[in-house]
Amino acid sequence: MCYFLVVIIANASYEEPSVISKERGWFIFIDLDAFYASVEILQHPELKGTPMVVCMGSLQGRGVVSTASYEARKYGVHSGMPLRRAISLCPGLILVPAHHALYEEYSARVYALLKTFSERIQKVSIDEACLELDPHSEPEKMALAIQSAIKEKLGLPSTIGVASNKLVAKIACDLAKPNGVKVVPKGTEKTFLAPLPVEKIPEVGPATVKKLHTMGVITIDDLAKIPEEQLIERFGKRGRYFHLASLGIDLSPLELETRPRSMSREVTFNKDTKNLELLRKELYSMSQKLAEDLKIQGLVAKTVFIKLRYSDFSTLLRQLTLTSPTHNPLEIASCGILLLKANLQKNRAVRLIGLGVRNLIARNKTKKEEKEEKN
Ligand code: TTP
Ligand code: MG
């Protein structure tokens, strides 16, 4: 056996507002390009450059587009579109079913890579993260280095926005898609936003856009000219947010992580194996270690997953959600073995096997443990 690898992702918690009064740094907003589609292309390189969509639901029936490759987007295909419509817009469109566990796995890898650039990081969504750098750093160089690392180490394309706050960095990222880097120099936030349509502001959805249009507000500059009181009267608390956003102001701090989202162990064999007993033994041994990690962190897991990599490097991830969360090594091992038996192709040699848990929640202590703690 060569090595063990532990992947830990984390949840968010709010930072103390006192940080706001300090000199603020640079915010680097990263969003992976056509994320699910890019992961599928890594598994099936022949899809590269084709108009393709990753879909949820039935491929024939009432499925919808999860995401579309940029080649398919040229035909007007986009996320959330019914598949039938997508096919009618883009003849020859290639349909690929979604593999969520695989996307979670890549998301975790990207996050772990980003953490090597800065500990000050917020995971915003499955394919977005925001990093904060100190005010005297060189953010453009850093952004380019991050983009190359994601491409070279993980094979994924991404776009990065850089600005003095999260909001403007996110909008800059949106404008630079795909595969771009856009830096908004400090002091130019308002003028950068001014010509953009109001819907570029996150949280300005179709209903709000409609209302703003009836008020004659089309661009962010139009929004900036409306008195704050009028926006608050019309939109309540969100009115203040719209006002500040239109000026390019966002004082919200990064939401830093506290609790891990998943934990996993994996082992690569010195020699590829078809030996089921050996695979079972590895799962048992990894389950012990995972259970220990869970206990140390006071957590229980709702989902158990396995990873199998065959000798040709094709990789399979399968997961199982439990009826009640656990930190019991035997339960974790049993799930792993169940997944192994259901999915292992016995005629193929395995290069790597992994076991992991996700959907982690805090464990309620037993009465006995609480008593012991008090004494
Ligand atoms: P996005 O980042 O919004 O989209 P994207 O990464 O596919 O494309 P890009 O960022 O280059 O514009 O969403 C990330 C993933 O989330 C996306 O690949 C698939 C999934 N998703 C859905 O399943 N349904 C949706 O409606 C959206 C918007 C995304
Ligand atoms: Mg994306």
Q: How far is Cα 273 from Cα 2, in angstroms, rounded to an integer?
A: 14
Low-confidence spans in the chain with pLDDT less than 50: 1-21
Q: What is the pLDDT of residue 146?
A: 97
Q: What is the pLDDT of residue 61?
A: 66
- The mean pLDDT of the chain is 90
Q: Which residues neighbour 301 within 8 Å (Cβ) at sequence distance 6 or greater?
A: 263, 294, 322, 325, 326, 327, 332, 357, 358, 359, 360
Q: What is the pLDDT of residue 36?
A: 97
30 alpha carbon – ligand 1 mean position (Å): 13
Give exposure, 107-121, as e/b (b: 16+ Cβ within 10 Å).
Answer: bbbbbeebbebbebb
- Amino acid 338 reads L
As a dihedral over the C-alpha atoms of residue 176, residue 177, residue 181, residue 184, rounded to 10 degrees, the angle is 30
User: What's the DSSP call for residue 152?
Assistant: H
Report the predicted TM-score, pTM, of the whole model to 2 decimal places.
Answer: 0.70
19 alpha carbon – ligand 2 mean position (Å): 29
Which residues have their alpha-adjacent CB atom under 5 A from ion ligand 2? 31-32, 35, 127
Q: What is the pLDDT of residue 347?
A: 93
- Amino acid 319 reads Q
Q: How far is Cα 38 from Cα 46, in angstroms, rounded to an integer?
A: 12
Q: What is the pLDDT of residue 19?
A: 38
Q: How many CA atoms lie within 13 A of 287 on its CB side?
A: 22
Ligand 1 proximity of 36 Cβ (cutoff 6 Å): yes
Q: Is 267 within 8 Å of 185 (Cβ atoms)?
A: no
**Is residue 77 classed exposed, middle or buried when 0-12, 13-18 and 19+ CB atoms within 10 A define those classes?**
buried
Residue carrying structure tokens 């589609």: 37
Q: What is the pLDDT of residue 371?
A: 61
Ligand 1 proximity of 122 Cβ (cutoff 6 Å): no
SS3 234: helix
30 alpha carbon – ligand 2 mean position (Å): 9
Beta strands in 155-199 (DSSP E): 158-163, 181-183
Q: Is 165 within 8 Å of 250 (Cβ atoms)?
A: yes
**Is residue 202 classed exposed, middle or buried when 0-12, 13-18 and 19+ CB atoms within 10 A define those classes?**
middle
Q: What is the pLDDT of residue 5?
A: 35
Which residue minimizes the CA distance to atom 21 of ligand 1? 66
Residue carrying structure tokens 């917020």: 122
Q: How far is Cα 243 from Cα 230, in angstroms, rounded to an integer?
A: 10
Ligand 1 proximity of 239 Cβ (cutoff 6 Å): no
Ligand 1 proximity of 177 Cβ (cutoff 6 Å): yes
Taking the mean position of all CA atoms in its chain, how far away is CA 262?
13
CA-closest candidate to residue 335, choices 281, 266, 284: 284
Rg (CA), the chain: 24
Residues marked active site are found at 128
- Amino acid 315 reads T
